[in-house]
Amino acid sequence: MNRRSLLVGTAAVLTALAMPAHAQGNWPSKPIRIVVPYPPGGPVDQIARAFQQRLGEVLGQSIIIDNKAGASGIIGMDAAIKADPDGYTFGFGVPGGITVLPHLQKMPYEVKEINYVSLVARVPQVITVGPQVPVASLQELIALAKKQPGKLNYGSAGNATTPHLGAALFAQEAGIDMMHIAYKGAAPAVTGLLGGEVQVLAADLPAVRPFTARGVKILAVSSLRRSELLPDVPSTAELGLPNVVSESNYGIIAPKGLPQAIFDKMHKALVTTLTTPDVKNRIAALGASAVTNTPDEYRKLMQSESDRWGAVVTKAKITLE
């Protein structure tokens, strides 16, 4: 064990010892705050609020959603990671602040020290075109892009976001050249797609699903298999692009040094909550799937995703500028 790991482990033990045993045993004795690093009303916030009430019922205390937006989720993630480890502040872990941005800038927190509790939702990413684009399938889109190299624009929710990287990965694997236009969020990106500013958009399903009635066409799900949320839409793998896999994984993280007894109780409560039929249905209605896993599985998944997106960042020469 190196000196840094020893110090971190010692700090966790001291924190647990500093909290009286009866306080840990009576947890929770007051409302619990979950820091969501995006604004109220957006897709990520809606997922958190879909299980908020039920989690509170399981734990016997109110759950308060605290929206701390900014810097592509970094501000809220930082606040949660560095909060007092007393069991009354957790964070909503978002993929950009864990798997993408660390490859592009210095982070205010150490990613390797994130205290993963459990995944809560998996959101499929889809490849879409606007109503004015004369294609009805992914193959037709690829053919059109090859006929007009550099002429099609693709939008994203922001530079270096997972939708940006998902579209860049699609272009790499399909051998096509498209121009990237970054928007300040998923909503303006969809507006750009509807208005014809961009012809293609890779996005999380909840961002585009409401707009299929206005002509947005979902051509493929970026995954190895079809999504149960879109059974009639083919996966990229079955269309000959098995490496084009992109999804957003959201979970609950905790401050460093959280006492193990509290950590375990929160994990158990999340599993109970997210396997409840009404919670699963509410999350599915948003275009996501309710999921849970062990802390170690969550950590390994994020490390794998970080390695994969780091390679895409390098190959596509993506920067924050």
User: Using CB atoms within 10 A of its CB, is residue 5 exposed (0-12), middle (13-18) or buried (19+)?
Assistant: exposed
Mean pLDDT, the chain, whole residue set: 91
Does residue 152 or residue 157 have the better pLDDT? 152
Q: How would DSSP label each residue in 245-287?
A: --EEEEEEEE-TT--HHHHHHHHHHHHHHHTSHHHHHHHHHTT
Does residue 39 or residue 76 have the better pLDDT? 76
282 Cβ contact partners less than 8 Å away, ≥ 6 residues apart? 50, 51
- Per-residue model confidence (pLDDT) at position 20: 52
Strand 179-182 and strand 115-129: the pairing is unpaired
Q: How confident is the model at residue 19 (pLDDT cuts 50, 70, 90)?
A: low
- Per-residue model confidence (pLDDT) at position 21: 52
Most confident of 160-164, 208-212, 226-230: 208-212
Ranges of CATH 3.40.190.10 domains, the chain: 124-221
CATH of 124-221, one of 2.70.70.10, 4.10.490.10, 3.40.190.10, 3.40.1390.10: 3.40.190.10
Ranges of CATH 3.40.190.150 domains, the chain: 3-122+247-316
* pLDDT tens figures, 166-203: 999 999 999 999 999 988 788 899 999 999 999 999 99
Across residues 103-118, what is the average pLDDT?
94
Length of the chain as a residue count: 321
Comparing CA positions, the residue from 156, 130, 158 lying closest to residue 144 is 130
Q: How confident is the model at residue 24 (pLDDT cuts 50, 70, 90)?
A: low
pLDDT(258) > 60? yes
* pLDDT tens figures, 57-109: 999 999 999 999 888 889 999 999 999 999 999 999 999 899 999 999 999 99
- Per-residue model confidence (pLDDT) at position 316: 86
CATH of 3-122+247-316, one of 3.40.190.150, 3.30.1360.70, 3.30.70.20, 3.10.350.10: 3.40.190.150
305 Cβ contact partners less than 8 Å away, ≥ 6 residues apart? 95, 98, 99, 249
Across residues 278-300, what is the average pLDDT?
95
